[in-house]
Amino acid sequence: MFQYTERRSIVVYLFHARQVELSDGQFKHLSISMPEETQTLSHIPIFPILLATLACFVYAYFKRAYSYWKSMGVPQLNPTFPFGDMASVIFRRQNMGDKIKEIYDRMKGRPYVGLYFFSRKAFLPLDPVLIKDVLGKDFQHFYDRGIYYDEENDPLSAHLFSIAGPKWKNLRAKLTPAYSPGKLKYMLDTIVQCGHEMTAILKEMAAASEGDVEIKEILARYTTDVIGCCAFGLECNCMRDPNAEFRLMGKRAFTQTVGDVLKMVIIRSFPSLAKLLKIGVFSRDVTNFFNRVVKETIEHRENNNISRPDFLQLLIQLRRNGNIDEEDTSEGRKQDPGTALTMEEAAAQAFIFFLAGFETTSTTISFALYEMSLNAEIQEKARREVEELIKSHGALTYECLMEMKYLETVIFETMRKYPPAPVFLRKCTKTYRIPDSNVIIKEGQSVLIPCYGLHRDPEFFPEPELFDPNRFNEENKGKIWDYTYMPFGDGPRNCIGMRFAMIQAKIALSLTLKNFKFTLSKKTILPLKMETKGIILTPIGGLWLDLKTI
C-alpha cells in the first residue's frame, strides 16, 4: 500500500496542480512529484489498447456471425471480414445481379445457400419448388420486401414497392384498377404520341451520324417522356432536350455515388440509426423535385377543375374518393375519413410509377433491338407481323398491340436473357421452417430470389446464351417450369405495372421496326459487359445500332 505522501501525489497528479487555500486566504499551486513507479504507469498508451481491444471484439463477433449458417446445416461460402460475401459488390467490381448469378452457378445442385452482407444474414433459395413456397404458397411469411422506408422523414420512400403489411394490401387493392386494360386504353394515345416523337428523333440522328445511334439513351428519354406524361401529366420534352430536369433527376435516381453506397450500408445495417439521422433512400434533390412536381400539378388540377387521361388523375380520384371509379374520372362518392390518399402518399405512388417504369423498360427495349440487330431473321419476322397488323387495324391501336404475339415472344425472351430485376428481395415476417428440413429462417432475415441465375440455367432453358423467342410461343411456353421465369416477380407482390410496361415496349419496338432496318454498330463494345455501379443490367459503353430508314 502507498504511503500517505504517495497517495497524495497521485491525487495531485490526477487533478494536475490543484489550488490549496492558505490560512491568509491566498492560494498557491502545489507541485508534488509522482513516485517513479507511478510515473511509469502514467505513460502506458491507453487509447491504442482500447482500440485494439475493440478491434479484437469486433473481429470475434464477425467470426462468430460467419458460422451461423454452417451451424444451421445450411451450405455457405467463405465470407471475409468484414464484408461477408459481398466485397466485390461493395467495391463495385461486380453488380449484384452478376454476383448472385455467380453464387447460383457455383452452388447449383443444392436447394439453398446462406450468405452474409457484412454480419447480416441472407438466405438464397436455389430450388424453384422452394422459391414457389416463398413467393406463393407461404407468402404470409414473406409479404415484406425488406426495403427501407421512412414515412415521417422521407415520405417519398413509402411507396407501394416498399411498404408492407395491411397498408400495402389496402393500397395494392386501391391501385390495381389503375392498371386495368380500360385505364391503359385511356393512356394509349399519349404513349403512341411519345413513340412517334421518338421515331422522328431517331430519323434525324441517323441522318446526322450516317446511321450510328446510341439507342439506350434515346429509349431512356422516350420512357421518361411517357412516364412524365402518364404519371405526372407533364410534357417533359426529354427527347429533344437531354438535359431536361426530368431526365436529369431520373438519371440521378439510378446513379449510385460513393456517398450513396455508404448511405445504403448504414440503411441496410443500422436502419434505426438511419431513421435517427433522417437518412433518405434517394438524394434530397430527387425527393424535393418529385414532391414539388406532384404537389403543384395536383393543386393546379384541383383548383382549375382539370382532368387528363393519365395515372396522376387516378391518384387524384384516390385522394378525393378513396377509390378509382371505372366510369368517373373526376368526382366520385366520398369515403370515410382516412381512407383516401394524402398528398405525400400520392407523390410516393407517382414516384415509384416513374422509377419502376422508365429505366427498366428502356433497358428491355434496348436489349430487344440489340438481339434483333444480331438476328436478321427474327427482326424481319417481327417487322412483317407489325406491318401487317398496323395495316389491318389502320393504326397502332390497343387491339393491334394485343395481337402482336411474335413481338411479345421477342420481349419475353429479352427479359429472360436480361431480366429487368436480376435479383429481388423478400423479408421473413414470421419465423419459417424450410419444408422437410430443420432449417429455420428467422423473422427479419432477408431472402434473395436469383432471377438472373434461374433465367440463364441450362437445366430450365437449354442453350441459355442463344436468343430464341420460340421458347415463349404457344407450343413451348407451357413447358417452362414454374418459378424459373420471373421478369416481373411472382406471387401476390408481382409487378403491378407489367401490362403498362409491355404496352410501352411494344409501341417503341413496333414503331422502330416499321420505320427502320438495323444492324449492330461497330461502336458497341463486344462482348457486352455490365456496369457495376447500377442496380439493373446496363451495358458499358451503351448499345449502338446502325439505323437505315425504310
User: In angstroms, rounded to a whole number, what is the distance separating the alpha carbons of residues 234 and 301?
Assistant: 12
Model confidence at 448: pLDDT above 90 = yes
Using one digit for the tens of pLDDT, what is the confidence trace for 10-34? 334 443 444 444 444 454 444 445 4
* Cis geometry, peptide bond prior to residue 75 (ω within 30 degrees of 0): no
Residue by residue, DSSP assigns 91-114 as TTSS-HHHHHHHHHHHHBTBSEEE
* Contact between 444 and 430 (Cβ < 8 Å): no
pLDDT band at 332; cut points 50, 70, 90? very low
* Contact between 69 and 121 (Cβ < 8 Å): yes
Average the pLDDT over 123-142 and give the result. Answer: 97
User: In angstroms, rounded to a whole number, what is the distance separating the alpha carbons of residues 220 and 232?
Assistant: 17
The pLDDT score that the predictor gives to residue 262 is: 79
User: In angstroms, rounded to a whole number, what is the distance separating the alpha carbons of residues 119 and 61?
Assistant: 9
The least confident of 28-37, 164-173, 431-440 is 28-37
Q: How many CB atoms lie within 10 A of CB 416?
A: 26
| CA-wise closest residue to 196 among 417, 514, 511, 428 | 511
Containing 272, the helix (H) or strand (E) segment is helix 271-276
Average the pLDDT over 453-467 and give the result. Answer: 98
Helix axes 343-374, 284-304, angle to 10 degrees: 110
Containing 291, the helix (H) or strand (E) segment is helix 284-304
Model confidence at 38: pLDDT above 70 = no
Listed in sequence order, the residues at least 6 apart from 105 whose beta carbon sits closer than 8 Å to its beta carbon are 453
Which stretches does DSSP call E strand in 250-337?
none
User: In angstroms, rounded to a whole number, what is the distance separating the alpha carbons of residues 518 and 549?
Assistant: 9
The least confident of 6-10, 153-157, 166-170, 448-452 is 6-10
The answer to whether the annotation marks 451 as part of a ligand binding site is: no
* Contact between 317 and 335 (Cβ < 8 Å): no
Alpha helices for 115-269 (secondary structure H): 128-132, 165-175, 181-208, 215-232, 245-253, 258-269
CA 254, distance to chain mean position in Å, is: 8
Q: How many CB atoms lie within 10 A of CB 93?
A: 11
Model confidence at 165: pLDDT above 60 = yes
Model confidence at 542: pLDDT above 70 = yes
The least confident of 27-36, 225-234, 465-474 is 27-36
* Contact between 110 and 126 (Cβ < 8 Å): yes
Average pLDDT score over the chain: 86
User: In angstroms, rounded to a whole number, what is the distance separating the alpha carbons of residues 461 and 485?
Assistant: 10
CA 182, distance to chain mean position in Å, is: 28
Using one digit for the tens of pLDDT, what is the confidence trace for 410-426? 999 999 999 999 999 99
Average the pLDDT over 160-180 and give the result. Answer: 89
Question: With pLDDT > 70 as the criterion, what percentage of the chain qualifies?
Answer: 89
The least confident of 166-175, 311-320, 322-331 is 322-331
Pairing outcome for strands 19-21 and 27-29: antiparallel
pLDDT band at 307; cut points 50, 70, 90? confident
Q: To which residue does cell 424453384 refer?
A: 128
Alpha helices for 20-116 (secondary structure H): 36-42, 46-65, 68-71, 87-90, 96-107
* Contact between 423 and 86 (Cβ < 8 Å): no
pLDDT band at 486; cut points 50, 70, 90? very high
Strand partners, 318: none
Tell me how far CA of residue 115 lies from CA of 68, 144, 145, 419, in angstroms: 10, 19, 17, 22
User: In angstroms, rounded to a whole number, what is the distance separating the alpha carbons of residues 417 and 484?
Assistant: 12
Model confidence at 356: pLDDT above 90 = no
The pLDDT score that the predictor gives to residue 39 is: 53
The pLDDT score that the predictor gives to residue 42 is: 56
The pLDDT score that the predictor gives to residue 43 is: 64
Q: How many CB atoms lie within 10 A of CB 549?
A: 12
The pLDDT score that the predictor gives to residue 40 is: 53
Model confidence at 133: pLDDT above 90 = yes
Using one digit for the tens of pLDDT, what is the confidence trace for 56-106? 888 888 889 999 999 999 999 999 999 999 999 988 899 999 999 999 999
pLDDT band at 137; cut points 50, 70, 90? very high
> Grid coordinates representing 131?
422459391
> Grid coordinates representing 116?
452474409
Which pTM value belongs to this model?
Answer: 0.85
Better pLDDT: 29 or 269? 269
The pLDDT score that the predictor gives to residue 35 is: 53
Average the pLDDT over 316-340 and give the result. Answer: 59
Q: Which residues of 357-375 are buried (b: 16+ CB within 10 A; e: fewer)?
A: bbbbbbbbbbbbbbbbbeb
Average the pLDDT over 309-320 and give the result. Answer: 85
The pLDDT score that the predictor gives to residue 37 is: 52
Listed in sequence order, the residues at least 6 apart from 146 whose beta carbon sits closer than 8 Å to its beta carbon are 425, 426, 427, 446
The pLDDT score that the predictor gives to residue 288 is: 87
Q: To which residue does cell 423535385 refer?
A: 289
Q: What residue type is assigned to position 533 of the chain?
A: K
Q: Based on the number of CB atoms within 10 Å of its own CB, is 91 exposed (0-12), middle (13-18) or buried (19 or more)? A: exposed
pLDDT band at 41; cut points 50, 70, 90? low
The pLDDT score that the predictor gives to residue 16 is: 43
The pLDDT score that the predictor gives to residue 533 is: 75
* Contact between 34 and 13 (Cβ < 8 Å): yes
The pLDDT score that the predictor gives to residue 257 is: 74
Q: How many CB atoms lie within 10 A of CB 328?
A: 12
| CA-wise closest residue to 483 among 515, 505, 450, 447 | 450
User: In angstroms, rounded to a whole number, what is the distance separating the alpha carbons of residues 338 and 291?
Assistant: 21
